Amino acid sequence: MTTLLVIAKEPRPGRVKTRLTPPFTPEDAAALAEAALCDTLHAVAAAPAERRVLVLDGEPGPWLPAGFDVVPQSGGGLDERLADAFAGCEGPALLVGMDTPQLSPAQLTVDFTDCDAWFGPALDGGFWALGLAAPDPGLLRGVPMSTARTGAVQRERLHAAGLRVRDLPTLRDVDTAADAAAVAALAPDSRFAACLARCTTRARG
C-alpha cells in the first residue's frame, strides 16, 4: 500500500500565502493556509494508505489530525525538499502540497499496478501531486520550481527515465485571491470555503 506525503509550511502570519496580502491581512492569509492544510490532511486521513507523513517546515499545531508521522523538511530549494521527502520512503509513495483544499480521498487513491508514476498537473503549470512506485529522489533534484514550466519539466524527467506515467485531474492551486475564490466555489462545504467567507467579510468591513 502507498505512503501518502503532505509537504507543508506551518501556517504562521507572514510565512504563508503572502500573495494573498492584499486584499487579506497576514493573519487572514495564515488562517486560509491553515484551513487549506486542514482540508488536505483530512482528505489524506480518509484515503487508504500504509503510512501518512506530514513533511513540515515549522511545528505541528492543533490542526494536525491523528495518524500522521511528522518529519522536518530538509534545507535547500523546493526540489531538494521534495526529493528528500521521497528519500525517506520505502515502497510506493504519493506526495501532495497544501495548496489544493478541494482534493478528495478518491483522488489520493492510486494504484501502481499498471504504471510507475502518477502526475497531478496544476493549472498554473506546476504540479499538485507526484506519485512514484519506486521513489527516486534524483527524479526531482534540479527541476526548476515555481515556474510555468515546472510541471512540463517534471513530466519530461519521468518519461526520460522510462517510467509509465498516468495523470491525475488538473487542479487549481491557491496562490492569489482569485484562486481562493475559484477553489472555494469548487468545495463549498470545505473548511477553506468557510474561512474565506469570514476573511472576505472582514476585508470588506
pLDDT tens digits for range 93-113:
999 999 999 999 999 999 999
Instruction: Report the candidate in 107, 109, 95 with the shortest Cα–Cα distance to residue 171.
Output: 107
Domain extent at residue 124: 3-204
* pLDDT tens per residue, range 188-198: 999 999 999 99
The answer for residues whose C-beta is within 8 angstroms of residue 98's C-beta and 6 or more apart is 6, 7, 8, 9, 33, 36, 37, 40
Average pLDDT over residues 83-97: 96
Write the CATH number for 34: 3.90.550.10
Residue 4 in grid coordinates: 501518502
Domains contained in the chain, number: 1
